[in-house]
Structure formats: structure tokens, C-alpha cells
Amino acid sequence: MTSVMASMTRRWVPGRPVDPQLLIGSLRRGAGDPTYRFDRDTRTVWRATRAPDGPVLLRLTPYGALGEIEAEAWGPGAAWALDGVPELLGDADSWDGFEPRHDVLAQAARRFAYFRVPRTRAVFEAMAAAGIEQVVTGKEAFRAWRVLVKTYGEPAPGSAASEALWVPPTPEQWRLIPSWMWLRAGVDGRRSRVVITAATRAKALERTLTMASASDVERALRSLPGVGVWTAAEVRQRAHGDADAFSFADYHVSRNVSYALTGEELDDDATAELIEPYRGHRYRVQRLLELSGPGHPRYGPRMSLPRHTPGATHRLR
């Protein structure tokens, strides 16, 4: 059983309605993600992560009537986590310059007017998850993440309420996962190499948080072997809070967004042209439409899970 330890607490008054589950729901890797727990009744979020100072468990509880967020943290990384609460809940994000040109997007913007893009400041953690998610279905990727975190991570620090929550492995622990375990978790050699390579450059990845421009961050992330436009965008969305990091090279996203905006399913190139007027906010467009509901209609049976073997080749994502 998780031992009880002293915690640090802080209250934040954002000056706007904040629903932690709405804002950081996209960070959770499936309903069974062992690094998150959501309480539907109170809208409380529990997040286990790894700070520069070590593991940390963060609890975020909104008090809507008071317009406050109560944040409580346990573990060596508690101060770092509490300092980052405003950014985690989107305080560094701005809608300035965002002008919906499509009715469906205008409706989504009104409905989710208080949405902000979260910023975790955990670059390697985002890269590890995105690397595992390359070129496979969400179901397969989320299972792999769950298996590997619970096998090589550690129980979250904190109170008894943290039971069943796990902190992701350190970069060194990711690097030392044996090849047979990657395969048992359903991760082929190409994807595991992305994570292992990133683990050897984890400190450099974290330094991208201080880079002056999104283009510099993009170049730095894509300098890693196996990291393409999709993986870099996923990391920028999660770790950097980049409101322009659209998920090109995804199986569904361009088709979903283009169908929502025009009633037609378009490829990446056509969708890029369609959303060019929203440059600076292209991920905001994507996320608002995701929050609004289903994308393009589904035809026929769901895509079956792919079977991966060592040496399989895929388009760089």
C-alpha cells in the first residue's frame, strides 16, 4: 500500500472557469492510463509524472463557485509541479488572433470558450508516449504504454488516494527495457528505437522548452532519428503547449477536420491549405473540433489492430 507522506498545497485563482478534465483530458493515454485518475463527480484530476527533482503526484480540484483551483502535490517534484499548475491548465495560451471563419468552428469556440492548450513541461515523457503511438491504433498504443509504465515505472508518491497510479520510468529505465519486453508490450523495433534514442538525449529534449521559436523546437525534435512531423507535433502539443502544432500524418485528423469544416474528407495537403488562415492556432482548430464531437462518418468495420514484427518499415511520423 502507498505510504502517506507530507504534501504541499497551493490555491490558484485563474480569473476564468477552469475544468481540469476538459483541459488536460487529451494528455491521458486512454481510460486505463496508470499515470492519471479522473473523478467525474468532483472534476478532480490526479496526475503522476516525473519532475526534474524526481517523481511527483499532483491533485487538481476545481472549486467553481469560488473560481479557484486547489493543487496538492506529493514527492520530490512537488514544488516543480505546483509552480507549473497555471501552465498545465493553459494559462500560457492565448486566443489572440484566432477568428473562426467556419460556422462549426465558431460554434465550438463559443461552446468551449474557456479551453486553453495545456503545457506539461515534460518533453521526454511526451516523446516516449508519442513514439509508442506511431503508426498504430490508439487501443494498441495505450495498452503498450500501460504495460511498460506499470512494469518499469514506480508507484506514485502520496496519499492512499494515489493507489494504482504510477510514475513513468526514468529515461535510463526506458533505455534499458529489453527488446523482448518491447515486443511483448506490442511495440516493434522501429518504435522502441525512437523511445530509446530519445532517452539518450532526454536532457537536450528538456532544453527545447527554452527555445525562442516553434520552428526551432520543431527542428530540434525532428533531428532525432525516427521523429517526423506527427511525433514532433504531438510533443509540441503536450509538453510545449503549442496551439499551432496540428497533427499532420495522422490516420484520422485531417479527414476529421476537413469533414467538419467542409463536409468533405481531404488529405493532409488539402487540409493544410484549408486551415492555413488559422496559422498560429491550427492545433486549437483541431482540438476544438475534437471536443465538439465525432468527425467524419465511419464506414464498415473498425480498423483491426496491426501485427508488428521486428524490421517492419513505416512512413516516418
Q: Is the model's pLDDT at 306 over the cut of 90? A: no
- In order, the DSSP letters of the chain are -PPP--EEEEEE--SS---HHHHHGGGS-STT-TTEEEETTTTEEEEEEEETTEEEEEEEEEETTTTEEEEEEESTTHHHHHHTHHHHTTTT---TT----SHHHHHHHHHTTT--------HHHHHHHHHHHTTS-HHHHHHHHHHHHHHHSEEPPSSGGGTT-EEPPPHHHHHT--HHHHHHTT--HHHHHHHHHHHHTHHHHHHGGG-S-HHHHHHHHHTSTT--HHHHHHHIIIII--TT---TT-SSHHHHHHHHHHSS---HHHHHHHHGGGTT-HHHHHHHHHHH---SPP-SSPPPPP---TT------
Nearest to 192 by CA among 165, 235, 219, 225: 225
Q: Is the model's pLDDT at 2 over the cut of 50? A: no
Q: Is the model's pLDDT at 312 over the cut of 50? A: no
Q: Is the model's pLDDT at 66 over the cut of 90? A: no
Query: What integer pLDDT is reported at residue 161 of this predicted model?
Result: 57
Instruction: Catalogue all structural domains in the chain, each as residue range(s) with its CATH number.
Output: 7-95 (3.30.310.20), 96-317 (1.10.340.30)
At 75-100, the pLDDT tens digits run: 999 999 999 999 999 999 999 999 99
At 233-254, the pLDDT tens digits run: 999 999 999 999 999 999 899 9
Query: What integer pLDDT is reported at residue 82 of this predicted model?
Result: 98
Query: What integer pLDDT is reported at residue 1 of this predicted model?
Result: 43
At 192-235, the pLDDT tens digits run: 999 999 999 999 999 999 999 999 999 999 999 999 999 999 99
Query: What integer pLDDT is reported at residue 67 of this predicted model?
Result: 83
| Structure-block grid coordinates of residue 56 | 511527483
- Beta bridge partners of residue 63, listed in sequence order: 68
- Across the range 268-272, mean pLDDT stands at 98
Q: Is the model's pLDDT at 110 over the cut of 90? A: yes
Please report, rounded to a whole number, the percentage of residues in the chain having pLDDT higher than 70.
89
- Across the range 280-297, mean pLDDT stands at 89
Name the residue with higher pLDDT: 64 or 180.
180
Q: Considering the chain, what is the average pLDDT of its residues?
A: 91
Query: What integer pLDDT is reported at residue 270 of this predicted model?
Result: 98
